[in-house]
Amino acid sequence: MKIEIIKCLKDNYSYLLINEKNNNACVIDPSESKPIIDVVEKKNINLKFILNTHHHYDHVGGNIDLKKKYGLNVVGFKYDKDRIPEIDILVEDNQIWTNEDFESKIIHIPGHTTGHICFYFEKEKIAFTGDTLFSLGCGRIFEGTYKQMFDSLNKLKKLPLETKIYCGHEYTFKNSIFCKKHDENNKNLKNKIIEIEDKLKNNLPTIPSTIGEEIACNIFLRAKNLEDFSKLRDLKDNF
Ligand code: ZN
Ligand code: FE
Distance (angstroms) between ligand 2 centre and the Cα of 174 equals 15
Distance (angstroms) between ligand 2 centre and the Cα of 6 equals 14
| Stated pTM of the model | 0.98
Instruction: Divide the 239 residues of the chain into consecutive groups of 10 and give the mean pLDDT of each group.
Output: 98 98 98 98 98 98 98 98 98 98 98 98 98 98 98 98 98 98 98 98 98 98 98 96
Output phi, psi for 109, to 5 deg.
-130, 70
Q: Residue 148 carries which DSSP code? A: H
Residue 141: which domain range?
2-91+100-106+115-237
Structural domain total, the chain: 1
Ligand nearest to the CA of 113: 1
Distance (angstroms) between ligand 1 centre and the Cα of 9 equals 13
**Residue 129 is part of a domain; what is its CATH number?**
3.60.15.10
Which amino acid type is present at position 143? E
Alpha carbon distance 103, 229 (integer Å): 33
State the pLDDT at residue 51.
98
Distance (angstroms) between ligand 2 centre and the Cα of 237 equals 15
State the pLDDT at residue 82.
98
Q: Exposure of 16 by Cβ count < 10 A (0-12 exposed, 13-18 middle, 19+ buried)?
A: buried
Task: Single out the residue of 205, 193, 219 nearest to residue 166, CA to CA.
Answer: 205
Ligand nearest to the CA of 116: 1
State the pLDDT at residue 128.
99
State the pLDDT at residue 57.
98
Q: Which residues are catalytic?
A: 54, 56, 58-59, 112, 131, 169
CB 134 within 8 A of CB 152: no
